[in-house]
Amino acid sequence: MISTNDFRTGLTIEVDGAVYSVVEFQHVKPGKGAAFVRAKLKNVETGAVQERTFRAGEKVNRAHVERKEMQYLYDAGDFYTFMDMETYEQINIGHDTIGDDIKYIKENDIITVVMYKGRIIGIDLPYYVELTVADTAPGVKGDTAAGGSKPATMETGLVVNVPFFINVGDKIRIDTRTGEYLDRV
């Protein structure tokens, strides 16, 4: 058990049977009444973010989440196959567990798999990934003067809005938290 007074960013807790990561928190001491802690929690399994208020000093269960480096091997239809980098054991993870995050991963990429009580509950993506543009409209000379953007399909199937000067075959950096173009590599 951990007190809400000990909250910090990145801490994983268990609330109502679900595992949450503390994104933000704020200790509030109103002039009248008891102090409380307002926290923004991200569900580790679904990625949904919610705000929740706790009484100051309230106890919650701490969730001991294990993170393990694994290599993404391939899509096997109903599930994705990953390999444990220490034991070389292959593990299958369902499509619903990973969701759209798979569009940021290429085959043979090393990622962090998140496990809770021996069960895989998701993956941690790096803050940005570098992907190659597979398809986009060609850039026309003079387009960059107006600013603007156009859709581009990456090698993994992810669609991102990119500036007009980006062409097929360019390698670009994408923010995995927002899904936005950062820069050309």
Q: Which of 44, 62, 80 is the last residue of a domain?
A: 62
**pLDDT confidence tier of residue 9, bands split at 50, 70 and 90:** confident
Q: 8 and 58 share a domain?
A: yes
Q: Tens of pLDDT along 138-154?
A: 876 666 656 778 999 99
CATH number of domain containing 164: 2.40.50.140
One-letter amino acid at 19 equals V
Q: From start to end of the chain, where are the E strands?
A: 2-3, 12-15, 18-28, 36-43, 49-55, 59-62, 65-75, 79-84, 90-94, 110-116, 119-124, 128-136, 150-154, 159-162, 171-175, 181-184
- The one-character DSSP state at 126 is -
Indicate yes or no: pTM above 0.85.
Answer: no
**What is the average per-residue pLDDT within 29-58?**
90
**pLDDT confidence tier of residue 130, bands split at 50, 70 and 90:** very high
Domain containing residue 53: 2-62
Domain count within the chain: 3
Q: Which of 124, 141, 170 is the last residue of a domain?
A: 124
CATH number of domain containing 41: 2.30.30.30
Q: Percentage of the chain with pLDDT > 70?
A: 96
Q: Are 65 and 114 in contact, with CB atoms under 8 Å apart?
A: yes
- Cα Rg, the chain, nearest whole Å: 21
Q: How big is the CA angle at 148 (ends 144 and 149), to the nearest 5 degrees? A: 100
| Region label for 155, one of left (φ > 0), alpha (ψ between -120 and 50) or beta (otherwise) | alpha
- Tokens 């990429």 identify what position? 109
Cα–Cα distance for residue pair 26/57, rounded to 1 Å: 13
